[in-house]
Chains A and B, each alone.
Chain A
């Protein structure tokens, strides 16, 4: 299989998810509402209760990342379980890791979109006002964390759906695996806004992203085999 054909397969799988989402809003509708609710709830609770909202804003941002991200990931994977849709993709004469990467790409875009809206919500509702450069860097951290989160979430959601496990088990399995992502994301956010060096945490985030993506891509064949 040529690299061009491989990348085309990745794009086709991701593209069909984006096209379907534009029409149905099945993933983003609920996830965006949930993310904003978390931010608004933090706002109601803390705006008058604490002097510095910055740590609260970071908490709201990463908590919404965790919960809204999980919702987006499980919903994106659930589409594949409906009426054997994933098996249709597996029958195609393309490397199956391309199917997986396409799914991870679209899910990353969904999770990142939810988190960028959360970030905007934090700016609006929690008076979060770091320098513009730091805000852009935080957005980049969210996108990078979304990639690792999607890579793991897609795999676990497919494991759950194909083995008949309840979808509610996905967060239980997912959260421990993404602790390094969350930890590095939170620390990077704090360092970026505080003007401190980010090298070590950035390497952890990128390295863990790469490990999750590679490990899950290798496992995909076993996850989907009947």
Chain B
């Protein structure tokens, strides 16, 4: 069953095209890795799928319902983490989660908030402001915020950006857990290692177009194809973390 669909989606900023006729269907339970160089349109596509921006042309559907800005129901099905954590430093971590839980109509708010704080390893810091958290901790709290209402679809925009190895490993564990509960996940990443570790399927965007859509395979094979697609010179060192562009 298709839970998330972009049909002929186009996004322009002035005369600049960010997305050009993107068609994409994501099946229930699928873990989709969305890759591409800087400026390829990954984050824009994710914002459109989240309903945070309106396509210039085309349609986004969530569980069959069109995601127009004033559509309330499809937003119940989405959990979204972007590179911005969407947290208030004036509230404690617990208060941030309570606010979003109540806005999402979660029942048994207190129990759910404590469960999520515990799951992301922040139970002991629940009374602190996110302003006092490290980047990794803020990311984890943001993930907890996105999972509060147990959405069937989770959209993650560059969740590994700025995380050290330990924080990235912790995020890996959380994403493994999400994949295990058959949640549909769309993840954008510059980091092949991290992205491919979870993905069932990979899509590559280049200049706002889908240039590759295939099941996830081995990293080496995918990286060679990716290099061809985006015109990267060969012989990049194997330990180069970022493959988002020259």
Residues 96-135 (chain A) with a chain B CB within 8 angstroms: 96
B75 adjacent to A221 (CB under 8 Å) = no
Q: How large is the interface on A (under 10, 10 to 19, 20 to 34, 35 or more residues)?
A: 20 to 34
Q: How far is the CB of B214 from chain A (nearest CB, A)?
A: 29
A16 adjacent to B99 (CB under 8 Å) = yes
Q: How far is the CB of B53 from chain A (nearest CB, A)?
A: 3
Q: How large is the interface on B (under 10, 10 to 19, 20 to 34, 35 or more residues)?
A: 20 to 34
Chain B residues closer than 8 Å to A226, beta-carbon distance: 47, 52-54
A93 adjacent to B90 (CB under 8 Å) = no
Known: A16-B99, A91-B75. A23 touches B84 (CB 8 A): no
Residue from B76, B78, B84, B89 within 8 A of A84 (CB atoms): B84
Residue from A8, A19, A85, A93 within 8 A of B75 (CB atoms): A93
A1 adjacent to B91 (CB under 8 Å) = no
Q: How far is the CB of B93 from chain A (nearest CB, A)?
A: 13
Chain A residues closer than 8 Å to B105, beta-carbon distance: 5, 93
B119: Cβ under 8 A from any A Cβ: no
A83 adjacent to B75 (CB under 8 Å) = no
Q: Say what secondary structure dominates the interface of chain B.
A: loop
Given the complex of chains A and B, what is the CA–CA distance between A156 and B99 in angstroms? 25
B145: Cβ under 8 A from any A Cβ: yes
Q: Say what secondary structure dominates the interface of chain A.
A: helix
B88 adjacent to A20 (CB under 8 Å) = yes
Interface-centre pick from A1, A24, A83, A221 (highest chain B CB count, 10 A)? A83
B75 adjacent to A92 (CB under 8 Å) = yes
Chain A residues closer than 8 Å to B70, beta-carbon distance: 95-96, 221
A92 adjacent to B69 (CB under 8 Å) = no
B99 adjacent to A84 (CB under 8 Å) = no
B195: Cβ under 8 A from any A Cβ: no
Q: List 5 A-B contacts (CB under 8 A).
A: A16-B91, A82-B88, A87-B52, A91-B80, A225-B69
